[in-house]
Amino acid sequence: MAQKSKILIIGGTGYIGKYIVEESAHPTFALVRENTASNPEKSKLIESFKSSGVTLLHGDIYHHESLAKAIKQVDGVISALGSPEQIADQVKIVAAIKEAGNIKRFFPSKFGVDVDRAKAVDPIEHHLRVKARIRRSIEAEGVPYTYLVSNGFAGYFLPNYGIALTGGTGSFNFGIALKGGSGSFTAPPRDKVEIIGDGNTKGELNYILSFLSTSPSPLNLFVSIAHAIFVKGNLTNSEVKASFGLEASELYPKVKYTTADEYYQFV
């Protein structure tokens, strides 16, 4: 029986990374910064990693020696870094992988739309360009890679019908978020649903463009995402062709996928 590859997850204590660590079926290593290990809010999560057999490696993407040392102990690297600055600084991971020379596969952190085929306006367009530059850096260095295009996370959008990206005041709105509030994302609104426009289109163009032009940062970022989704249709207008990728159901045909219609039968 072939030995399973060892996987290093960078950003494993973050919003997405913790799920990747928990679901990994391979010998798993998590890169943890010294200050993260001593963070009370993260300590419980780190202890759960340990108890499940995850190997913790102290290091930082901004400390080349520790990063390269960690990478040399594994066969594959998954990045789950989240902030825009960290996304851009994945070039440091690429450089360390190139130096190590032993990595069979690198998954950069670019969860979302296919940045080479998406249509958007700033400020989200700027972030897509940054992710595209990471792709070009990976390819230029000859690092073996897989780009995971997840589009929108269903667990984030479906519970509130996408209201969070239309500026609505149903279960969640941007005003609450910007003021530090905690809008609900756990279930669809029961009493009131705000419809943008006349209800016959996926998004009201004039409303979103007007909102985008008058919104301050960081609200304009979320509005530009709404524009990309509801006006440009970036989550529905892409076709996965054999020349550049595979659709997930082809890779994992035994997995039972839940459609949006099926989801709303149970909520």
The answer to whether the CB of 68 falls within 8 A of the CB of 96 is yes
Classify the C-alpha dihedral 138-143-149-150 as positive or negative: negative
Tokens, residue 249: 């159901």
Structure confidence at residue 184 as a pLDDT band (50, 70, 90): very low
- For residue 9, pLDDT over 50 is answered with yes
Which residues partner with 79 through β-bridges? Answer: 10
Catalytic residues: 131
Query: What is the share, in percent, of the chain residues with pLDDT greater than 90?
Result: 46
Buried b (16+ CB within 10 A) or exposed e, 95-127: bbbbebeebeebbbbbbbbbbeebebbebbbeb
- For residue 228, pLDDT over 90 is answered with no
Tens digit of each residue's pLDDT (9 = 90 or more) over 52-63: 999 999 999 999
The reported pLDDT for the residue numbered 71 is 98
The reported pLDDT for the residue numbered 225 is 84
Cα separations (Å) of 125 from 33, 130, 211, 223, 228? Answer: 30, 9, 17, 12, 9
The reported pLDDT for the residue numbered 178 is 37
More confident residue, 11 or 208: 11
Backbone dihedral angles phi then psi of residue 186, each to the nearest 5 degrees:
-90, -15
> What is the Cα–Cα distance from 242 to 85, expressed in whole angstroms?
32
More confident residue, 235 or 81: 81
The reported pLDDT for the residue numbered 194 is 59
Tens digit of each residue's pLDDT (9 = 90 or more) over 131-177: 999 999 999 999 999 999 988 777 777 776 655 554 444 333 433 33
Q: Is the pTM of this model over 0.85?
A: no
